[in-house]
Structure 1
Amino acid sequence: MRESEPGAGRVVLAATPIGNLGDASRRLIELLEEADVIAAEDTRRLHRLVQGLGVHPSGRVLSYHEHNEAAKTPELVDEVRSGRTVLLVTDAGMPSVSDPGYRLVEAAVAEGFTVTAVPGPSAVLTALALSGLPTDRFCFEGFLPRKAGERAARLAELGSERRTLVFFEAPHRLPAMLRAVVDSFGAERPIAVCRELTKTYEEVLRGTAGELADWAEGNEVRGEIAVVIGGAPEAPPVSAEDLVAAVNGLVSEGARLKDAVAAVAADAGASRRELYAAVLASR
């Protein structure tokens, strides 16, 4: 672990409003006014933000987005090395969460510089909290792949995930995304589609995957969207009788008893010895 260089500055990741300017924190406003450098995902969006907040930045503003962050990161690290405060803001929410930020944090940490954050609005956590689905364990998956085959493969990987899932999706791709969820997870999987969170036309639709896929296909959906999906239901316990029947089925197809017991026990997470004894007892 490297210690911060004497006189070095710092990197600050600051969450910006996801819709309602009233959600801007006092610390965000202060840093927008005082930071030496503001790295913004979109400088035009930053201009609208500071205008709306009545803020007058004193530092240098530069563009920092997914297409130039690899090239711009060394420049920002140099600014920190020179003792300056670099404030990173994205279009909405917390930097580095489906937005630029990771590269800068990684580089600054590698140099031993201070990296801190101004927490605030988060579309992921807001959608999760409003979904009505379990919040004790969840995972964020960002955007699903655009291509149908790659999207189906990703959903197949998540088919047995027990935690609540949170995704982002573009409005024009929402119908295809929800139909793919139906195909992969079943029409009865609980879902919440959260649209325009914290904005004037905020809407949260809750129902099954099938219901919301039908809704999306029948409506022109607009706005920023987060989709929250309930985790996979717990598989019902398999009875000893079912395990014995599975072993006997494999044996009748030509498998050796020992191999059949091993295969069924491994699949069910059962004891080989106990299953073997149960099969013998059933004969």
Structure 2
Amino acid sequence: MATNETGTVAALVGANEAAILSEWLSLQKKTGVLDTGRISEAELKAQSENFLRVLREALAQGTAAQAISGVNSPAYGPVKTLLEELSRSRAMQGFSPSETATFVFSLKQPLFNILSGDSSLSPKQIVDLTWTVTLIIDELGLYTLEVYHRSREEVIRLQQREIAELSTPVVKLWDGILALPLIGTIDSQRTQVVMENLLQTIVESEAEIAIIDITGVPTVDTLTAQHLLKTVAAARLMGADCLISGIRPQIAQTMVHLGVELNVVSKATLADAFQVALQRTGRTVAKVRKPGAGSPRGAGAQDS
């Protein structure tokens, strides 16, 4: 794009800024952006005014270097910064990619109308300036989409981590005894979350034993076993012994077939593992009866 062309566009934008802004806002409203309730009319107007201003200033700084590098030149730094903030904000607010990109692409028509309606420009100038505007708006629109998708990926990663933390709660069964019920597939990323939650709870509760229950784990292969052993090893380094419960017959057969050895005490059910944990901590389970009554009222753990 030639530097004199960007300067001409900047001058036209400055002379017709009010008309461009009015038409641009009208086009954005027609897309239903205000109907979503995610953004107010005042906020939309402020964003549009700011973008039009920084775009005009960038166009006015036309140099030979800018003509070569396009919107990657330093002159467009403020423009891209504004678009980054807008894209991240809209990604967090739940706007779709098309709704976000429309903010930039809808500016084309008002700019084209200003160019085609200027009688001082020759047909060739109008064509050249229209092509210049098209290149600039397209590049900025694509940049907006790139930032939007990066922002959405960050949101998704954060949500996945939060879900992983919620799906791996550490439960205090008794003084010094913890349970970590696992549900779903165990991968490297989730193992890290499991370790962090378990180790932190061991420190806070001064636990002696941690029961890792894999009843909800669909299958245990060599990789899954390695992840479990990493968790067990980390807990042992913190001074807590580990038990594994919930190994179903199918999983046991698979582990034997694969030659997987957990090298840790395992039990079929969480209740069995809890009983072992009570014994290791010097406690027993005894039924409690009402004085003079023959029927049991309940059960409780007692220190031996």
Shorter-normalised TM range? under 0.3
Q: Which one has a larger percent strand, Structure 1 or Structure 2?
A: 1
Which of the two has higher C-alpha Rg? 2
Greater per-residue helix proportion: 2
Normalised by the size of structure 2, how large is the TM-score? 0.24
